[in-house]
Structure 1
C-alpha cells in the first residue's frame, strides 16, 4: 500500500465542489463542525461503506477528513487496500478551521462534546479519582500513574486508546438511520 495523497486545506477549499468529502470522526465530533458537504462515516464503520465509496470514487475524487489527519490517513490506507483512491486532508478539520475556513453544522444535530474534550474529561477525572482514593488506599494512586503513562504513550505514538474506548459509548455512535441515509446519498452521487 502506498502513502495516501495529502491535500492541504487551502488546496481543498479551492476544489471542494469536486470532492466527495468523507468525515471519519464520530457523530458527535461531526455534529460539532465539519467540512461543508462532508458525509459522516465513522472509521469503525468504514468497511460497511466500501461499496458506496467505490461508487462515489467513480464519480469524483474522495477527500477523507478527521480532526487531525491521523484517522483519515488510516481510512485512506483501508480504502487503498480495497482499490478505492482517496486523499486525506492535512491537519484535518482543526487545520481547516485554523486557516479560516467555515465548519458546517447539521440542522437539529445532537450536541456531543468533541472527542478530544471527552478524553480530557475522562483522563482528568480518573487522575483525580486515583489521587483522592489514594489518600485512603495508597495503591489507588497507580490509577493516576497509569492514566499519566497512557497520555505519554498517546502523545509519543499519536494515537489515543481512551478515544477508541470513548468512541464506543452510545452517544458517540451513529444512529443506524444516519449511516443508512449517508450511504444512500453516496450511491446517488
Structure 2
C-alpha cells in the first residue's frame, strides 16, 4: 500500500465510502477550514484517542501541508493500524485541486498569522527597547529568532500550540462543525 494519497484519489475514496479521514491539526485550524468528511483528532491527542478509529477500514490522515500527517501516520502504524495513508500536500493540496472545504462561521485570524504577528511584535519590541531603553533588550529579539530557528528545523512550534489554546481560538466541540454552523467554499 502506498503511503501517500493524492487529493483526487482521496476524493474518490470518500465518494465510495472506502476510507476514514482524520484531520490531525489543532481545533482552531480545523474550524478555519476543513474537509467536511474529516474527523478531528489533533496530533497531540492521537495516541490516547486511537481507539476511536476503526482498524478494519483504511485511514487517511491529513494536516495543513503533510508534515504532521506523516508524523501521525508513523504513530498509527506503531499502534497496529496497517492501512494508513497521508494526504500528499495536506489540505493545501486539496484546495489547490479545486476541492471544497467547509469552515465555521466564527472567524479569527488563521493560527499561522497569529504566530507571525506575535513574533513580529516581539522582535520589533526588542529592537526598539534595545535602542531606546537598554541594549540588553536585544535578547528579546534573539529569543524570538531562536524560536523561529527551532520551529523551522523541528516542525514543532511552542508559540503556535500556546496560541491555539487561547480563549479566542477555542472551538466548541472536537468533531466537524454542524452544517448549520459551516459554510462550504
- Is TM more than 0.5 here? yes
State the distance in 2 between where 1:67 and 1:133 align: 36
Q: CA RMSD of the aligned region, Å? A: 2.2
TM-score, normalised relative to structure 1: 0.79
Give matches, 1:157-172, under 5 Å: 157-172=154-169
Paired positions, count: 171
Q: The residue matched to 1:57 in structure 2 has which SS?
A: coil
Per the TM alignment, residue 171 of structure 1 is displaced from its structure 2 partner at its CA by 4.5
Cα separation, 1, equivalents of 2:111 and 2:152: 15
Residue 28 of structure 1 contacts residue 171 of structure 1 at CA under 8 Å; is this kept in 2? no
1:133 maps onto 2:117 in alignment: no
TM (normalized to structure 2)?
Answer: 0.80
CA displacement at 1:6 relative to structure 2 = 1.2
Structure holding more helix per residue: 1
Q: Identify the match of residue 95 of structure 1 among 93, 96, 101.
A: 93
Pair 1:13–1:110, CA change in 2 (3 A): same
Structure 1 residue 123 corresponds to structure 2 residue 122: no
Structure 1: 5+ residue stretches without partners: 183-189
Question: What corresponds to 2:67 in structure 1?
Answer: 70
2:183 corresponds to which residue? Answer: none
Q: Which residue of 2 aligns with 1:52?
A: 52
Q: 1:149 aligns with which of 146, 155, 159?
A: 146
Q: In the alignment, is residue 36 of structure 1 matched against residue 33 of structure 2? A: no
Which shows bigger deviation, 63-72 or 39-48?
A: 39-48
Question: How many angstroms apart in 1 are the aligned matches of 2:123 and 2:59?
Answer: 41
